[in-house]
Amino acid sequence: MHLPMGESMSVFEIVVERNVRRRRNRRPLAGTRRAAILFRIWHGVREMIDEAERLGDGELVHFLAVAQLLVEEKTTEITANTTAFDGIDTSLPN
* Residue 3 forms part of a structural domain: no
Q: What pLDDT, on the 0 to 100 scale, is given for residue 6?
A: 60
Please list the pLDDT of the chain residue by residue as tens digits (94 residues): 565 666 665 666 666 666 666 666 677 767 678 888 888 999 999 999 999 999 999 999 999 999 999 998 888 887 776 555 566 666 665 4
Q: What pLDDT, on the 0 to 100 scale, is given for residue 45?
A: 93
Q: Pinpoint the alpha helices (H) of 1-94.
A: 31-55, 58-78
* Residue 16 forms part of a structural domain: no
* Residue 58 forms part of a structural domain: yes
* Residue 17 forms part of a structural domain: no
* Residue 23 forms part of a structural domain: no
Q: What pLDDT, on the 0 to 100 scale, is given for residue 39?
A: 87
* Residue 13 forms part of a structural domain: no
- For 73, the domain range is 31-78
* Residue 91 forms part of a structural domain: no
How many whole angstroms separate alpha carbon 94 and alpha carbon 89?
Answer: 9
Q: What pLDDT, on the 0 to 100 scale, is given for residue 63?
A: 94
Total count of domains within the chain: 1
* Residue 22 forms part of a structural domain: no
Q: Please compute Rg for the chain using Cα positions.
A: 24
